[in-house]
């Protein structure tokens, strides 16, 4: 089912004309109303979509400098809601929405969730956090728009998640993939059966995850797992999402125009090339952004999708360009380690990368937990048990082949690595 057939299956030429008109209007509106944008963009004209590549980028640092409301393009009284990023580095990044922007958000969420199988009357368990973070309220509002029954549980309190999932038997769940895996795993550890919850589909995002985690989620919960992408600066979740083909995320490109650039040179790259995603809002009013550098590494896919939607698609986000590790000259994303670890059936999808830069040559330690069945075979967890030693050596060798780097592989006792309730922390730096 397609939520908005007219918008989502629009012929590509018509879509491009719509995008251009909306881009010109966004520029006019922004330059007229935001001093910072007037200084950068006053006098520029855009006649074709290709002209976009000549405009300057805007970056997270600009948002921090303009904290809190310097980039708002409407009077305070017209701002209906404020959201923001978690702000691990001091002040959060603040974004605003007019009532119209919130309508657009509900619309794109309804599209993305419908593409993942959401239907009127389905019950949705929301395990994303509520608050300044856009995950909880974004899915909440989209679900209401569709006419779903929303259970706003928020993140955390695993025991309560179990209780409500068991008693309410929702059709769907949404949350970060790492937290929902933790919900399932802790339920199983208590003797429960996550598959018996009867979930039909899950919508996951807010952090990078791989096909291996998808397989783990689908197997453990017995449901289908769909990827949803977004960021607060642009709107929150709903910028893009997978359809039933699970072959790339449909970008809602009548509202958000994507480009891929080479992060080093800033040059625009053609479809099919991997690089940094840059997004332009085409319809937002409270805080429009043109050429926002997301820092997220992905690829745009131009080919048509069997589902009939005509939007451009993006590949799963591999990670943020600033999450890339450089270890002894090898460039590495945590998701690449994850891919390899999850191919090994004797491991569970919880891991942490410890980077030690205290000596001249940085080293990487990969900490991962063995599956409960392996530990049972050994009697109890003992890192020196021959089966675990052999497993560790096998995984280290696999990693060396896959990523071209010798790592120290440490098997740690089950359920000892930190579990996050929101975005998982995969990398720990030791200096």
Which stretch in 73-81, 113-121, 127-135, 140-148 sits in contact with ligand DLL by CB under 6 A?
A: 127-135
Q: Measured from the CB atom, is 23 or 228 closer to ligand DLL? A: 228
**In whole angstroms, how large is the CA radius of gyration of the chain?**
22
Q: Measured from the CB atom, is 194 or 237 closer to ligand DLL? A: 237
Residue 402 makes CB contacts below 8 A (sequence gap 6+) with 336, 339, 340
Q: What is the dihedral of CA 21, 25, 27, 30, to 10 degrees?
A: -160
Report if residue 97 touches ligand DLL, rule: CB under 6 A: no
Query: Cα(176)–Cα(358) distance, rounded to whole angstroms?
Result: 32
Report if residue 231 touches ligand DLL, rule: CB under 6 A: yes
> How far apart, in Å, are the Cα atoms of 310 and each of 2, 158, 266?
12, 40, 27
- Candidates 26, 98, 114, 134: give the one binding ligand DLL (CB under 6 A): 134
Report if residue 230 touches ligand DLL, rule: CB under 6 A: yes
Query: Cα(104)–Cα(292) distance, rounded to whole angstroms?
Result: 19
CA 99, 102, 106, 111 dihedral sign is positive
Query: Cα(150)–Cα(399) distance, rounded to whole angstroms?
Result: 42
Supply the minimum distance, in Å, between the C-beta of residue 270 and ligand DLL.
Answer: 22
- Candidates 133, 226, 256, 381: give the one binding ligand DLL (CB under 6 A): 133
Per-residue contact track with ligand DLL, 351 to 390, x per CB under 6 A?
A: ----------------------------------------
Report if residue 236 touches ligand DLL, rule: CB under 6 A: yes
Report if residue 177 touches ligand DLL, rule: CB under 6 A: no
Query: Cα(296)–Cα(233) distance, rounded to whole angstroms?
Result: 13
Q: Measured from the CB atom, is 133 or 351 closer to ligand DLL? A: 133
Which stretch in 160-168, 201-209, 264-272, 385-393 sits in contact with ligand DLL by CB under 6 A?
A: 201-209
313-349 CB burial, b ≥16 within 10 A, e <16: bbbbbbbebebebebeeeebbbbbbbbbbbebebbbb
Report if residue 34 touches ligand DLL, rule: CB under 6 A: no
| Residue count, binding to ligand DLL (CB under 6 A) | 21
Report if residue 415 touches ligand DLL, rule: CB under 6 A: no
| Full DSSP string of 75-124 | -GGG--EEEE---SSSSPPEEEE-HHHHHHHHHHHHHHHHHTT--TT-EE
- Candidates 155, 281, 283, 294: give the one binding ligand DLL (CB under 6 A): 294
- Candidates 161, 232, 252, 281: give the one binding ligand DLL (CB under 6 A): 232
Q: Measured from the CB atom, is 72 or 333 closer to ligand DLL? A: 333
Which stretch in 153-161, 232-240, 362-370, 403-411 sits in contact with ligand DLL by CB under 6 A?
A: 232-240
Q: What is the dihedral of CA 384, 390, 393, 395, to 10 degrees?
A: -110
Give the footprint of ligand DLL on this chain (CB under 6 A): 85, 128, 133-135, 205-208, 227-232, 236-237, 294, 296, 317, 320
């Amino acid at each position: 089912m397609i939520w908005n057939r007219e918008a989502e299956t629009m012929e590509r030429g018509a879509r491009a004309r719509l995008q251009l008109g909306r881009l010109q209007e966004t520029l006019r509106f922004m330059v007229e109303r935001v001093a910072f944008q007037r200084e950068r963009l006053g006098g520029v004209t855009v006649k074709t979509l290709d002209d976009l590549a000549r405009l300057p980028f805007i970056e997270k640092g600009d948002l921090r400098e303009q904290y809190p409301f310097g980039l708002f393009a409407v009077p305070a009284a017209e701002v209906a809601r404020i959201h923001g990023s978690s702000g691990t580095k001091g002040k959060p990044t603040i974004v605003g929405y007019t009532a119209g922007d919130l309508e657009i958000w509900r619309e794109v969420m309804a599209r993305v969730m419908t593409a993942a199988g959401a239907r009127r009357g389905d019950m949705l368990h929301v395990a994303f956090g509520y608050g300044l973070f856009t995950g909880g309220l974004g899915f909440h509002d989209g679900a209401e728009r569709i006419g779903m029954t929303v259970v706003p549980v928020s993140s955390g309190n695993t025991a309560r998640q179990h209780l409500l999932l068991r008693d309410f038997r929702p059709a769907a769940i949404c949350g970060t993939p790492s937290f929902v895996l933790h919900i399932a795993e802790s339920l199983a550890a208590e003797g429960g059966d996550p598959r018996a919850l009867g979930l039909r589909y899950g919508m996951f995002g807010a952090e990078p995850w791989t096909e291996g985690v998808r397989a783990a989620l689908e197997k453990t919960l017995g449901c289908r797992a769909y990827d949803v992408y977004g960021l607060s600066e642009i709107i929150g979740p709903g910028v893009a999402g997978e359809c039933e083909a699970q072959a790339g995320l449909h970008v809602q490109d009548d509202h958000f125009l994507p480009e891929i650039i080479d992060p080093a040179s800033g040059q625009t790259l053609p479809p099919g090339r991997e690089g940094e995603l840059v997004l332009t809002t085409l319809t937002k009013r409270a805080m429009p952004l043109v050429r926002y550098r997301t820092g997220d590494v992905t690829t745009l896919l131009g080919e048509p999708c069997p589902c009939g939607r005509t939007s451009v698609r993006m590949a799963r986000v591999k990670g943020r360009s600033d999450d890339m590790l450089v270890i002894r000259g090898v460039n590495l994303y945590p998701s690449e380690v994850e891919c390899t670890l999850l191919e090994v059936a004797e491991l569970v999808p919880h891991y942490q990368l410890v980077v030690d830069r205290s000596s001249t040559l940085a080293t990487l330690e990969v900490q991962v937990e063995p599956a409960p069945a392996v530990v049972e075979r050994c009697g109890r967890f003992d890192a020196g048990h021959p089966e675990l030693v052999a497993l560790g050596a096998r995984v280290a060798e696999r990693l060396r082949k896959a990523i071209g780097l010798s790592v120290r592989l440490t098997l740690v006792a089950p359920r000892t690595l930190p579990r996050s309730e929101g975005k998982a922390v995969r990398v720990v730096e030791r200096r």
